[in-house]
Amino acid sequence: MLRIIRHNFALKALAVLLALIGWAYFRLAGNAIVPTFEEHLTVPITAVNLPPELIATYADKTATVAILPKNGEPPIKPAEVKAVLDLSNRAAGVYNVPVQLVAPNVVVQSLSPASVSLTVSKMDQKTFPLAVHYGGQGDVVVSHFTLTPATAVVRGPTETLSQVATVRVDISLSSGKAKLDAMIRPVAVNSAGQEIPDVQVVPNLVRVQARFLPGTAAAHGR
């Protein structure tokens, strides 16, 4: 009898050990910690909830954020993260507004800048005839061009709008090009030809149609 007990004891001990190992495995597997890695993103800063007659101008255009996805969640796509400035109930004036991060299922490790200094100004607008600016190195002349539309509306803070001298469309001349039919962005510039930031040009694209002649052919035709 004692011999049977001793013989079965080893089997029973092995069975208990295997049971403990199995229990520990399933216990730990159910609570396993999936390692997560910190993500560093650069996202644009956007002002929201501002009445259409007002415009916000600020120097900080992007925010740098370090985030950790929550345990078990997939990595965050940059498009899912937004940095916003809530300008609800703001009148014209100067403010320092906290940057709010909009992102699902993340832990924010750091955010820079944490706030943005900005100016809220009254929006004004003015209509300008479109001008054409030619560039490039081509030995060609323009025989004909049309712009559709021929004017553009510039919207922006009153003090910034006063700096706009003209709204131009840049056309690059090329010797191998006989005609052009393209949508080109008009640019508001000052008297020195420099683009003016923080204004909106409507429409944002203009159809440019032009025909070119070789410079020598044009000279012989005169």
pLDDT tens by residue, 95-114:
999 999 888 777 888 899 99
Report the range of poorest mean pLDDT among 17-31, 50-64, 88-102, 130-144: 17-31
Residue 143 neighbours by CB under 8 Å, 6+ apart: 211, 212, 213, 218
Nearest to 55 by CA among 93, 5, 4: 93
Query: How many Å is the Cα radius of gyration of the chain?
Result: 33
Calculate ∠ Cα 75-47-203, nearest 5°.
105
In DSSP terms, 156 is beta-bridged to: 124
SS3 16: helix
- Of 221 and 134, which is predicted with more confidence? 134
Burial class (CB in 10 A: 0-12, 13-18, 19+), 184: middle
- Determine the pLDDT at residue 130: 96
Nearest to 164 by CA among 190, 133, 182, 184: 190
What average pLDDT does range 106-134 have in this prediction?
Answer: 91
What average pLDDT does range 163-175 have in this prediction?
Answer: 87
For residue 156, pLDDT over 80 is answered with yes
Reply yes or no: is the peptide bond before residue 113 cis, omega within 30 of 0: yes
For the chain, what percent of residues have pLDDT higher than 70? 76
- Determine the pLDDT at residue 23: 60
In DSSP terms, 170 is beta-bridged to: 133
For residue 51, pLDDT over 60 is answered with yes
Contact 113, 97 (CB under 8 A): no
Beta strand 187-189 with 206-214 is unpaired
Summary count for the chain: helices (H), strands (E): 3, 15
Residue 96 neighbours by CB under 8 Å, 6+ apart: 115, 116, 117, 118
Nearest to 71 by CA among 26, 37, 109: 37
C-alpha span between 34 and 72 (Å, rounded): 7
